[in-house]
């Protein structure tokens, strides 16, 4: 995957609103969640918001490295497994949280560990969307989402200038 042609910068305020919207959708499922499995690192911020909103205190991490730089997705590597008690019954009653499902590769690895868990992301792209049960916003596959923790304040060229040949 090469760097996307389109960009979608997300502010802290927008991300917080979107993560809370995800919590509202999940609350509407009226499920008693045993725990959250947070996919690090991107899932850390939405997990903090969702765990607060839904009152979930048991949080586990699944550490999968995929983006080794900001332009290419490298080989996936599981850096930390999920604890055995959460794997029981295929992860039934477990909520998996990530910021984004892009190609679905990371989601596929975690889904295989917890096939009965409910997978929720704030954003989804078409290739990864089939692996997610609940999400808030879908963006095109050729869009790169710039999360607030990746951004600093700087000049942005007008869209018309950026697309003019």
102 catalytic residue (yes or no): yes
Answer for the pair 37, 62: CB distance below 8 angstroms, yes or no: yes
Cα gap 85→133, rounded to integer Å: 22
Q: Which of 18, 69, 98, 142 is catalytic?
A: 98
Q: Which of 13, 18, 69, 99 is catalytic?
A: 99
Please tell me the CATH code under which domain 11-149 is placed: 3.40.50.2020
Within 28-158, where are the H helices? 44-54, 84-87, 105-113
Domain definitions of the chain by residue range:
11-149
β strands within the chain, DSSP E: 6-9, 35-40, 59-67, 73-80, 94-101, 118-124, 134-138, 143-146
Adjacent-strand bridge partners of 38: 61, 97
pLDDT digit string (tens) for 95-141? Answer: 999 999 999 999 999 999 999 999 999 999 999 999 999 999 999 99
98 catalytic residue (yes or no): yes
pLDDT digit string (tens) for 145-164? Answer: 999 988 877 777 787 776 65
- If one compares 139 and 70, the residue with the highest pLDDT of the two is 139
pTM, 2 dp: 0.85
13 catalytic residue (yes or no): no
**pLDDT surpassing 90 at residue 25:** yes
């Amino acid at each position: 995957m090469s760097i996307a042609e389109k960009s979608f910068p997300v502010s802290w305020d927008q991300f917080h609103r979107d993560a809370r919207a995800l919590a509202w959708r999940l609350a509407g499922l009226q499920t008693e969640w045993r725990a959250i499995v947070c996919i690090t690192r991107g899932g850390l911020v939405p997990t903090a918001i969702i765990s607060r909103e839904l009152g979930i205190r048991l949080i586990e991490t699944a550490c999968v490295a995929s983006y080794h730089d900001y332009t290419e997705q490298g080989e996936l590597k599981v850096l930390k497994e999920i604890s055995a008690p959460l794997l029981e019954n295929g992860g039934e009653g477990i909520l998996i949280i990530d910021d984004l499902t892009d190609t679905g590769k990371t989601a596929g690895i975690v889904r295989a560990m917890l096939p009965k868990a409910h997978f929720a992301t704030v954003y989804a792209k078409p290739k990864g969307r089939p692996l997610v049960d609940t999400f808030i916003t879908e963006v095109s596959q050729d869009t790169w989402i710039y999360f607030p923790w990746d951004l600093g304040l700087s000049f942005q060229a007008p869209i018309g200038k950026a697309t003019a040949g």
